[in-house]
Amino acid sequence: MNLPQLYRVKQQVKQTKPLDIEAAISSEMARLEVGQIIAPGDSVAITAGSRGIANIQQILKTIVDELKALGSKPFIVPAMGSHAGGTAQGQARLLAGLGITRDKMGCPIRASMEVVKVGQSDLNIPVYLDKYAYGADHIFVVNRVKPHTKFSGKVESGLIKMCLIGLGKREGAGIYHRAIDHYSWDEVVDSVREILLSRTHVKFGLAILENAQEETAAIVGLRRDEFFTREPALLNEARKMMPSLPFEEIDLLIVDEMGKEFSGTGMDTNITGRKPGSAVQVLRIFVRDLTSASLGNAQGIGLADFTTTRLVEKIDRNALYLNSRTAHRTDTCKIPMTFENDRVALEIAMEMTCIRKQQEKRIVWIKNTLELQEILVSQAYLPAIDTRGDLKIIGGPYQIKFDKTNNLVHPLQTG
């Protein structure tokens, strides 16, 4: 293969001030006057999702400690739809992998896939709630606010989605993913507003915002009625801070790893351009591997064009298909062209990527769709980089090399 040379590029992104997480949470809970609502002896269900949220272990532990200081009885419930194989054991195991255990949190982890129907919206959409959360005196919702990989609206991924899809477990997640085939996400959210406010024990939420360096940039406390009024503005702030690829036109995107901790679709479609309406145009995607934290769920693999045997062999089809059924998607679970090693996959990918000469093809190589501050790009981008004040070449040129098993070797790993 006559492969182009690569350069290591660093993106200059807007910095945010370091956040004292414990102080921020304590301040927000005091501002919300949580102690005026939650009385000693009250039980409080705290949500924990499956995403790789920065500092989530510290965030949840701080909330638990604050609530215990009030004399309440907090516990954590997995709020992740049908993830981790759609079983209580699998979801508890996923949380444990994130460091969220009874011993580390100082409170029980109560996992169940059983739900209670709390109402039906005027669009005939039922609202379900995790049985443990339903039985608690109060529900404290915790989630990162960010653009969703499929839904588009005033709110996307955040506190409201956690209430409906996370706490709705498999039944709720399935209902809402099917509903958006007929209604907009905004219509669905608006239709269930009154049910969430009046028929559940949701009382408070902490919205987490992250910057482009995957650091906790802000933690904002909201009362339940503010979920609907303030989350849209928080989504806009999150969108401004989220990482992105520095180019909108890419011939081949190489992704080292996909996984549920990075995105619901393994690779964030806001980054890869696979979300409808995206300005990013990525012609082909080659994804090399699946993270162990995904527990075999390769949801989103169908959005790639090429992959490897080692990734496919890690797939738990039961977990993948359950997630796809719940998400009401058949495109994201399809297996792309699969090759025994990276060399063969890259050769075919280059052959099937545009009509430009090999040395002129626009290639971007990333670790995953969260870690984008430093990336590798092909020489075709050099003229554009020269005109960009936000991009700096910090290494290269590098030749694309393979190890003895014919798999790619990252330039920084070469001897």
> Is residue 19 in a domain?
no
> Is residue 24 in a domain?
no
Does one domain contain both 237 and 247? no
> Is residue 36 in a domain?
yes
pLDDT single digits (tens) 184-242: 989 998 998 899 888 999 999 999 999 888 889 999 999 999 999 999 999 999 998 88
What is the span of the domain harbouring residue 354?
6-13+243-413
> Is residue 393 in a domain?
yes
> Is residue 311 in a domain?
yes
Domain boundary among 201, 217, 241: 241
Domain boundary among 216, 241, 266: 241
**Residues 372 and 212 sit within 8 Å (Cβ to Cβ):** yes
**pLDDT computed for residue 414 by the predictor:** 53
Q: How many domains does the chain have?
A: 2
Torsion of CA 242, 245, 247, 253, to 10 degrees: -150
pLDDT single digits (tens) 238-279: 998 888 899 999 999 999 999 988 888 999 998 999 988 888
> Is residue 173 in a domain?
yes
Q: CA–CA separation, 106 vs 92, rounded Å?
A: 15
Torsion of CA 245, 293, 322, 317, to 10 degrees: 100
Mean pLDDT of the chain: 92
**pLDDT computed for residue 247 by the predictor:** 95
> Is residue 1 in a domain?
no
CATH number at 196 reads 3.40.50.11440
> Is residue 18 in a domain?
no
- Taking the chain (415 residues) in runs of 10, the rounded mean pLDDT of each run is 92 84 97 96 94 90 98 96 84 91 97 94 92 97 90 87 90 86 89 90 95 90 94 93 91 96 89 88 97 93 97 96 88 96 97 89 95 94 94 94 95 68
Does one domain contain both 249 and 203? no
- CA-based nearest residue to 287, from 274, 302, 276, 273: 302
Q: CA–CA separation, 406 vs 100, rounded Å?
A: 38
Residue that the structure tokens 């969108």 belong to: 239
Does one domain contain both 226 and 283? no
Which residues, other chains included, contact 20 with Cβ-Cβ below 8 Å and sequence gap of 6+? none
**pLDDT computed for residue 17 by the predictor:** 84
- CA-based nearest residue to 380, from 361, 358, 394: 361
Token pair belonging to 392: 């700096």
Does one domain contain both 91 and 225? yes
